[in-house]
C-alpha cells in the first residue's frame, strides 16, 4: 500500500473513532411545552455535584456549596433564569438526551452544562 493511502486511512480511522461517541449520543432540542414538562417538579444533578429543582410556581433552587433560590420561565423556546439580588435573566437552549435521562443546557455564550434526572 502506498504511504499516502495509509496516511489517509489512518486519518479517517482517527476521525471516526473521535466522533463515534458523539454520533451515538443524540440530543433533541426541547420547545416550550416539552421544556416545561421536562423541568416542572424535577431535580437534576450536574457534573459538579450541584443539584437543581424547578417548581411549578416558577421558583428554582440550586444547591452546591451554597444554596441559591431564583426564578425560571420559558421564553422563545429557551429556559431563562434569574438569581436575586441581581435579577438579570439569562437564557439557555435545552436538549434532552436520546435515552431521556439527561438535559443539556447551552447558554447564549456557548457554555454548556449537563444535568441528570434524579429519582423523585
Name the residue ranges covered by the structural domains of the chain: 27-117
Residue 40 DSSP symbol: T
Tell me the average pLDDT across 84-90: 91
Residues 82/71, Cβ–Cβ less than 8 Å = yes
**Residue % of the chain over a pLDDT of 70:** 79
Residues 105/44, Cβ–Cβ less than 8 Å = no
The pTM for the full model equals 0.76
Q: What are the grid coordinates assigned to 86, written together?
A: 441581581
Question: Tell me: the pLDDT tens digits for 33-55?
Answer: 899 999 998 999 999 999 999 99
Evaluate the omega torsion of the peptide bond into residue 85 and state whether it is cis, within 30 degrees of 0. yes
CATH assignment of 27-117, among 3.40.50.970, 3.40.50.2300, 1.10.274.10, 2.40.128.640: 2.40.128.640
Q: Where residue 1 falls among pLDDT bands split at 50, 70, 90? A: low
Look at residue 17 in the predicted model and tell me its pLDDT: 41
Amino acid at each position: 500500500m502506498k504511504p499516502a493511502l495509509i496516511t489517509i486511512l489512518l486519518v479517517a480511522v482517527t476521525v471516526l473513532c473521535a466522533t463515534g461517541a458523539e454520533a451515538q449520543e443524540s440530543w433533541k432540542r426541547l420547545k416550550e411545552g416539552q421544556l416545561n414538562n421536562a423541568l416542572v417538579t424535577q431535580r437534576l444533578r450536574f457534573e459538579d455535584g450541584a443539584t437543581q429543582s424547578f417548581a411549578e410556581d416558577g421558583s428554582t433552587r440550586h444547591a452546591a456549596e451554597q444554596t441559591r433560590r431564583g426564578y425560571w420561565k420559558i421564553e422563545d423556546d429557551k429556559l431563562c433564569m434569574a438569581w436575586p439580588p441581581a435579577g438579570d435573566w439569562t437564557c439557555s437552549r435545552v436538549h434532552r438526551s436520546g435515552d431521556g435521562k439527561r438535559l443539556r443546557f447551552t447558554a447564549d455564550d456557548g457554555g454548556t452544562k449537563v444535568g441528570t434526572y434524579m429519582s423523585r
